[in-house]
Amino acid sequence: MTEVHNFGVDAISCHAWNRDRSEVAICPNNNEIQVHKRTSSGWKLLETLQEHHMAVMGIDWAPKTNRIVTCSADKNAYVWTQKEDGKWDPAWVLLRINRAATCVKWSPLENKFAVGSGGRVIAVCYFVLENNWWLCKHIKRPLRSTVTTVDWHPDNKILVAGSTDYKVRVFSGFISDMEDAPGTSPWGQSNSLGTLLAEFPNTPSGGGWIHSVAFSPCGNKICWVAHNSSICVADAAKGNAVVRLYTEHLPFLSCIWIGSNNIVVSGHSCMPMLYTVDDNGQIYFASKLDNTQRKETAGLSAMRKFQSLDRQARNETNDNALDSVHQNTINCARRVSDHEFSTSSLDGQLVVWDLKLLENSIAGLKIA
């Protein structure tokens, strides 16, 4: 059901895979990025990328062009290109921001990327061949606070962003200098970068920083999770109708779509959870995807505990481990395939989960 990987680091703040999942880039919660390659004997550290001088906040690996983009609290972003000798060459990106770069995401065609920042700005970056550098254009209004998360629509010309002003906004991400005019979309269309196409408050009265946003595979729906432990889905095909579910769990920090109706969320509860969106747009809890780690020995552990208390009036067992693979907050989740996703955590572990193996055991779960 799971693959558990350790890289000898104390914590992982974010990670990204290459196209065939033979290599992974991780940030060990500092200013470095480590690139590891899978070998028959485990993972081998290929290179440590050290251009940033403050904490790395985001990584994304473009599968087709094989370029890595990183952003950092040092207000900088770099595009890393692999040379013939296997070394990674950084290209500085002119972001023109005055606060930390907080998140980054390649567009589906990998010809541009979006960077969120603490300066109430989204930088949409693209390569200018004539000058041989990465340039950006800004989306500023009506952003009122730090942009914490961004995602691209499948059409490559619309993006969604969440921020700490409790709002989720859909913008035109069209760059006239390099793209053909946008086609039709349920979210609307615009020939001007930054045009606001939709805006959603996390709750009618505000309520909670937005931690993660994600377009559905078809692009008609947006899911987001926030610090008030809510999961929300907006559907452009239904007049931008929003369905909200307030959960009993600790806040989620990431959300990803697996198929057209399944949403995997994870965060401070240290385990991924599966929610399903039905044909009416309602959100239902389906299953915790990680609740079997210690239940098999729970009875034996309890017996030992009481025997120890009975014989020596003290507890000899250390029962502090959580009933989950991850032992700390999950702060990054990545879709790996149509039925797989990966999570990294402040416990230093990276785990790959296969939902196809759970399809028969979870009622209503259908993996397209």
Assess contact for 23 and 34: CB atoms under 8 A.
no
| Predicted confidence (pLDDT) per residue in 264-285, tens digit | 999 999 999 999 999 888 999 9
Q: Residue 41: is its pLDDT beyond 80?
A: yes
pLDDT band at 237 (very low <50, low <70, confident <90, very high): very high
How crowded is residue 193: how many other Cβ atoms within 10 Å of its Cβ? 19
CATH fold of the domain at 3-361: Methylamine Dehydrogenase; Chain H (2.130.10)
Q: What is the amino acid identity at position 208?
A: G
Closest CA to 92 of 113, 73, 70: 70
Q: Are 93 and 134 in contact (CB under 8 A)?
A: yes
pLDDT in tens, 330-351: 999 999 988 899 999 999 999 9
Whole-angstrom distance, CA of residue 227 vs CA of residue 252:
7
Please tell me whether residue 48 adopts helix, strand or coil conformation.
strand
Question: Domain segments of the chain: what residues?
Answer: 3-361
What are 171-224's pLDDT values in tens digits? Answer: 999 998 888 887 788 999 888 999 999 999 988 766 789 999 999 999 999 999
What 3-state DSSP class applies to 300? helix
Of 158, 164, 169, residue with least CA distance to 144: 164
- Please give the single-letter amino acid code of residue 320: N
Nearest-CA neighbor of 225 among 198, 188, 257, 259? 257
Q: State how far the alpha carbon of 6 is from the alpha carbons of 13, 24, 36, 90, 233, in Å.
A: 14, 12, 11, 26, 34
At 301 the pLDDT is 45
Angle at CA 67, nearest 5°, toward 61 and 71? 65
Rounded to 5°, the CA angle 52-58-60 comes to: 105
Helix (H) or strand (E) holding 305: helix 298-312
Place of tokens 């980054």: 104
Residue 123, Cβ neighbours under 10 Å: how many? 26
**3-class state of residue 295 by DSSP:** helix
Residue-wise pLDDT tens digits, 117-152: 999 999 999 999 888 899 999 999 999 999 999 999
Tens digit of pLDDT for each residue in 301-337? 455 545 545 555 554 445 567 888 999 999 999 999 8
Global pTM? 0.89
> Torsion angle, CA of 80/82/83/88, rounded to 10 degrees?
50
With vertex at residue 102, the alpha carbon angle to CA 196 and CA 348, rounded to the nearest 5 degrees, is: 135
Cα 261 to chain centroid, rounded: 18
**Buried-state track 70-94, b at ≥16 Cβ within 10 A, e below 16:** bbbbbbbbbbbebeeeeebebbebe
Beta strand pairing call for 196-201 and 210-215: unpaired
